[in-house]
Structure 1
Amino acid sequence: MHDPSAIAALLRARFRRHLPSSLNEPTRPERRLVELPLHIAWSGLRTLDLDRPRQRMSLYRTVLAEGMRDDLCRFHNRGILLELWPVLHKLISRAIKDIWEEAFPERRP
């Protein structure tokens, strides 16, 4: 049987390693349509239209959960993250939410 607290600690460490150094680092993709690489979205919808609110939310949720530091910088934008955070933080895992809110207190609802 696996120790839930040990698993939680491993997840937190993983997500902490992926954090950008600042919220100013991420920049929004220049194109309206964004195709996520396979290492982020290995099933389901991979091409997302950033002008469609549900797809934009899906992009941010997926990249937060599966992306590496470079992916977070490539696919995210500070203003949009802050705008989406009141809903987005309810759709992501507690480990991701806690790490991001600890690192960037302005994200707290």
Structure 2
Amino acid sequence: MLRDRCRSRLPESLQELAGSVEGDMALPIHIVWSGRTSYSLDRPKPRMTLYRTVLAEGLSEDLVALLHDRPLTEQWPALRRLISPYIREVWEDAFPELLRTASADTAAA
């Protein structure tokens, strides 16, 4: 059921992810209902936390509006270890380029 919910929120392609890549971003209350709501996209750790939160809690329109394909792809090798296995599997099944990025990062290490 969780995989189906996650799959139903996916964009058609990673290129549809057109969120900001710099500055500060505040997440809407339906994504983050307590704690920190604003994140700096200019800093890797806050950006990673924002992406992890949006991947787990965002609706399909949130994914497109708040995430961007370049940072997602660049940080996927680290991000994939921080998200739920079902989210990781659904995204990597739909977008094999993420898995290639993660494999290339592992090979370089």
TM-score by length of 2: 0.88
TM-score by length of 1: 0.88
Q: Say how many residue pairs are matched.
A: 100
| Percent of matched pairs sharing the same residue | 48
Q: Over aligned residues, Cα RMSD in angstroms? A: 1.1
1:45, distance to aligned residue in structure 2 (A): 0.7
Instruction: Give the ranges of 4+ consecutive aligned residues of structure 1 lying more than 4 Å apart after TM superposition.
Output: none
Supply the distance in 1 between the matched residues of 2:80 and 2:70 (Cα, whole angstroms): 15
Question: Based on CA coordinates, which of the two structures has the bigger radius of gyration?
Answer: 1
Contact 2:17–2:63 (Cα < 8 Å) also in 1: yes
Q: Does 1:75 align with 2:66?
A: yes
Kindly tell me: are residues 24 and 88 of structure 1, through their superposed partners in 2, closer, same or farther at Cα, counting changes over 3 Å?
A: same
| Runs (5+) with no aligned partner, structure 1 | 1-9
Kindly tell me: are residues 30 and 95 of structure 1, through their superposed partners in 2, closer, same or farther at Cα, counting changes over 3 Å?
A: closer
- Corresponding residue number in structure 2 for 1:91: 82
- Corresponding residue number in structure 1 for 2:52: 61
- Counterpart of 1:95, as a letter, is Y
